Structure 1
Amino acid sequence: LEAVAGQALLALRQQRTAAAAARAERKAEATELRTTLLSAVGHDLRTPLTSIKASIGSLRAPDLALSEEDTAELMEAIELSADRLAGLIDNLLDSSRLATGAVKPHLRPVGYDEVVAHALSNVDSSDGVRVAVDDQLPAVLADPGLLERVVANVLDNALRHGGAPVSARASAHSGQVELRIVDHGKGLRKGAADSAFAPFQRLGGDRDTTPGVGLGLSVAKGFTEAMGGTIRAEDTPGGGLTVVVSLPAFSVEFEEEGVR
């Protein structure tokens, strides 16, 4: 009995030690995540806010005579900075929704051509995107709003890190329809494809000064997987990055199951 009691006590102590270690690990991870978030968000909030404040200060300066062209440039700078802030906030909120499991897609048939057109209206420098998406391709089964955010985030990432021109093209095979966003920038370093969709990843490395908190591709991955699709990164032949969004093609079987 003493031996059994001793073993039971030892097992209990080991269990408590393991539980304490797990709690400590979760706390450390949460602290690291919070520190990373504050650092990244602090930097990316400060940059557009500084631009907005400087532009407004110039517009309000009583002793500064501005031409119509100068005024238009300052107003454009304010608008672009405000859009950048809105995009950052959207990605932070979306990341929170994904972390808490609050994303509930409403699936219906939608064409990539329609989604890409809507996404381009929310992307800066969209005139640098060449679209080659046939409207005769099968529709995909997706949540149009979520898919639009996926495409907008991937396009924005390609324009920021790869630069124009960026191309968007689609093809269908094996019951899937793939959308490929192709840039010709520096691409990813070797072995970095799997980590490209992790939160707070700056594809250009720590020295990259390109604005962006590093949540765009993470949100795109979460939304795509929530809709039953996949997203992956590939090297662009000749240099650059290609992001492939793959979703099930809508078929009669889906319609018979009640998807309208």
Structure 2
Amino acid sequence: MAGNMAQAFCGSFTALYVQTPGYASMNAEDTVRLQAHMYLAKQLGAEIVTTHGEDVPTQIAEYARLSDVTKIVIGRSGIQRRHFWSEPTLTERLITLAPEVDIHIIPDAEVYKSYCGKRLSTIRPILPTARELLLTLGILAAATIIGWLFLKLDLASANIIMVYLLGVLLTSSFTNGYTCGILCAFLSVVLFNFFLTEPRLSLGAYGSKYPITFAVMFAAALLTGTLATKLKAHALLSARDAYRTKLLFDMNRKLQKAEAPEEVYQMTAMQIQKLLQRDILVYPVQGDALSTGILYPTDGSCPHPAPADDQEQDVIHWVWQNRKRAGATTETFPKAKRLYLAIRTGQQAYGVVGIPMEKKTQPDAFTSSILFSILGECALTLESLRNAREKEETAVLAKNEQLRANLLRSISHDLRTPLTSISGNADTLLHSYAALDEQTRKQIFTDIYDDAQWLIGLVENLLSITKIADGSVKLHLSDQVVDDIVSEALRHIDRRSAEHHIMADCGDTPLLVRVDAGLIMQVIINLVNNAIKYTPADSVIRITAIHQENMAEIRVIDNGSGIPDEIKKHVFEMFFTGSNLIGDSRRSLGLGLTLCQTIIYAHHGELTLKDNTPHGCIFSFTIPLSEVNLNE
């Protein structure tokens, strides 16, 4: 009902478990029932929260107040109040303590003890061990001997009573449960009366006030022992709570550093292994199917593929498909060797964890709550990684779509000019060839050639970018001299280079690099052609090469007007053409520098831009030097 209400009201669903000091004495039937309820709540999407205290309704009401809970669903015990002096039941007290919360009471089909009975059951005695009985008797003997010495020293009876109270306190501190404490309190009164009051070695007493003294002594001893036992229980619960918090904190901290699902699965297995001290099997989900299981052994050896077990495969796939636990200690596939739990969030399963149960008891409620929390953290981290991956893939698709749109837009606008020019010039030659003089015909042929060459260069750049980006082009690396590459590149630069002063200086010492000579030549050609296009006539363009550690740095330097600072960060972007009036932006799709950067990155180098002094710009790129020494 609670799960349906949470879905109907679009609220959060929390299953609260109040762990009382009597948790340690819980019988096996109640333990199994508690674990089943916790797992059912987890399957319904609830967050499991554990608090500690004796007063269950107060703990529930306080948690509801601090967490702004608006509705509480709780089961009703089968036994109601029978007398006006009887203590209120759990539900009655809860209604009183949380009047502002809607409380839905569900009649339980099974007959449970009333809350009063449950509260009394927390102090029901449990059978002590032989060691605890011997310890109790030893403490009583020591207290009696000390009391006898005090009596010989003529000290007051109050001092002897304090010694017995100290003995009760020590007994309650070093034994489990309330049995030894109650026994020690009773025997303290008996021993005090038998050995240390007149008449000696008799249970009688001469003084009329001794019965009152004995009653007060027994009450004080009983109260002291009970308080000591409760403090010990609370200390144990606090220590377990601290351990749980530390374990989950370490898990969360490690998962935050995980960058791949494999790391998440490994960290989860290690934490569960640390918790249960058992070999852990993890079956990750890859794509839409379970992959081979990985076994994480407790002996410290490396994880390895799990051995094939056809009988267990049915259980594993059932858990993955139904997102519910199955296997050993459950009613589904109970003959399985392991207990299998799904790593899940909502309706999405990210894997299956197998825990061996041979000759092992089922984890208690405390351990189970930690186990479910670890699996929940694992599932949330895997979901975050999946969302991040999907977001990244969506961003890549959006970027590719944007590039495609930019390309189509650029083609539709910018390619119209050269195509129109080619078409117009061809039409002129077709219809007026005889009427044109030789010089005019030559100029028209030159214009057609230039436009065609530009289109060819554009197509080659596009093909080169896509092939290098998707890895379909394999670099043909060879040892080359930088001076030879530069000289060959300058032979293929723009024909308008005659209007500029182009100089190359590769130094006196030859630089041998290991590169794809054809691609590096294309980089130099593109950089020099850019300098020619965007600088005025008579500008100086220099190509230099220097040695930089294990790299060769090649620079293309011009003394043009330079590039504004607000444009520098965009020059390597595809389809960016800038606003330089000297260059013809209608004849540039902005692919040259993008291609250069792609080629240099493929060579594990770097392409950078900086200002020249006093004006102009410097494009420099690095390529790896060859390991061969030219002087050998």
Q: Smaller-chain TM-score range?
A: 0.7 to 0.9
Tell me the amino acid that sits aligned with residue 562 of structure 2: G
**Distance verdict in 2 for CA 1:126–1:110, change over 3 Å:** farther
Give the corresponding residue for 2:337.
none
Partner residue of 1:179? 554
User: Residues of 1 paired with 2:602 and 2:561: CA distance?
Assistant: 30
Which range moves more in the overlay, 94-103 or 168-177?
168-177
Q: Which amino acid aligns with 1:30?
A: N
For structure 1, which runs of at least 5 residues remain unmatched after alignment?
255-260
1:161–1:204 Cα contact (<8 Å) kept? no
Residue of 593, 596, 599 corresponding to 1:217? 593
Residue of structure 2 aligned with 1:151, choices 482, 499, 524: 524
- Could you tell me how far apart the structure 2 residues matched to 1:115 and 1:4 are? 68
Q: 1:157 to 1:140 in 2, by over 3 A?
A: same
Matches within 5 A, 1:54-93: 54-62=424-432, 65-93=435-463
Partners of 2:396 and 2:555 lie apart in 1 by 37
User: Which residue of 2 is the match for residue 9 of structure 1?
Assistant: 346
Write the letter of the residue equivalent to 2:413.
Answer: H
Give the Cα–Cα distance (whole angstroms) in 2 for the partners of residues 168 and 131 of structure 1.
5
2:576 aligned residue: 201
Query: Could you say which residue in structure 2 is the equivalent of 1:233?
Result: 609
Question: Identity of counterpart residues, as a percentage?
Answer: 28
Report if aligned partners of 2:513, 2:623 keep a CA contact under 8 Å in 1: yes
- Provide the residue aligned with 1:49 in structure 2: 419
Higher alpha-carbon deviation: 11-20 or 115-124:
11-20
* Equivalent-residue separation in structure 2 for 1:194 and 1:228 (angstroms): 21
Q: Which residue in 2 is equivalent to 1:141? A: 514
Q: Matched residues in 1 for 2:540 and 2:580: separation? A: 22
Over aligned residues, Cα RMSD in angstroms? 3.1
Cα gap change, 1:10/1:17 in structure 2, threshold over 3 Å: closer, same or farther? farther
Identify the residue that residue 132 of structure 1 maps to in structure 2: 505
Q: Secondary structure at the match of 2:615?
A: coil
Query: Are the counterparts in 2 of residues 161 and 203 from structure 1 also a CA contact under 8 Å?
Result: no
Deviation at 1:199, TM superposition (A): 1.5
Tell me the CA shift for residue 189 of structure 1: 2.3
Shift of 1:138: 1.5
2:603 touches 2:624 (CA, 8 Å); kept in 1? no
Residue 250 of structure 1 deviates from its aligned partner by 2.0
Q: CA deviation at 1:182?
A: 1.1
C-alpha distance 251-17 of structure 1, shift in aligned 2 (>3 A): closer
CA shift digits 1:11-43 (9 cap, x unpaired) = 789768767655654443232111111112333
Moved over 6 A (4+): 10-20
Q: Is the 8 A contact 2:526 2:592 kept in 1?
A: yes
Instruction: Spell out the pairing of 1:22-41 with structure 2 (5 A cutoff).
Output: 24-41=394-411
Asked whether the 8 Å contact 2:421–2:448 carries over to 1, the reply is yes
Equivalent position to 1:121, from 449, 469, 491: 491
Following the alignment from structure 2 to structure 1, what is the Cα–Cα distance between the partners of residues 432 and 593?
44
Mapped partners of 2:567, 2:508: distance in 1? 34
2:543 matched residue in structure 1 = 168
Aligned pairs, number: 255
TM-score in terms of structure 1 length: 0.84
User: Could you list the runs of 5+ residues in structure 2 that have no partner in the other structure?
Assistant: 1-39, 47-344, 350-379
1:251 partnered with 2:622: no
Q: CA deviation at 1:85?
A: 0.5
Cα deviation code 1:122-149 (max 9, x no counterpart): 3212333222334742221111111111
RCO greater where, 1 or 2, for CA within 8 Å and sep 6 or more?
Answer: 1
Find the structure with the greater CA-based Rg: 2
Summarize the Cα distance change of 1:43–1:165 in structure 2 as closer, same or farther, 3 Å threshold. Answer: farther
CA distance in 2: counterparts of 1:55 and 1:102, whole angstroms = 38
